[in-house]
Amino acid sequence: MELFQKEKAEIVMNTPIEEAITIARQHANRFAGNLSEEFGLMPSQETATKLSSELRFIDHLVDDLPRLYRRGQVCRAIMELPSATASAIDRLLSLIHI
C-alpha cells in the first residue's frame, strides 16, 4: 500500500511573507495603508524622517552608527546619550499610536 500518491498530492509551499501578501490582498480594503510586493505595507501618509529637535540626539546617534560599529563604540555612545524629557517621549508615542 502506497502512503503517498503523487497524482493526488498538491504541495503548496509559501513563505510567511507570501502568506501575508495573500491575506492582505484578500482584505485590502480593511488596511489603512497600501500593500505592494515591491515596498511592503506602506502607511497612507508619509512618515517623518527626523525626530523633533528635543530628540534630535537620537537621529545623530543613528546617523553615526556605521562609524561607531567600526570602532566598537556603540555601547559607549548609547551610555553617553542625554536623557529625554517625559513630555518629548509622550509626544513621540502619541505620533506612533502606542
User: What DSSP assignment string belongs to 24-81?
Assistant: HHHTGGGSSSEEETTTEEE-SSPPPSS--GGGHHHHHHHHHHHHHHHHT-HHHHHHTP
pLDDT at residue 92 in the model: 83
Only one residue has cell 529625554, namely 84
- pTM metric for this prediction: 0.47
User: Residue 24: what are its φ and ψ, rounded to 5°?
Assistant: -65, -40
Q: What is the per-residue pLDDT across 39-82, written as a single tens digit (0 to 9) for each?
A: 556 555 666 677 888 999 999 999 999 999 999 999 999 999 99
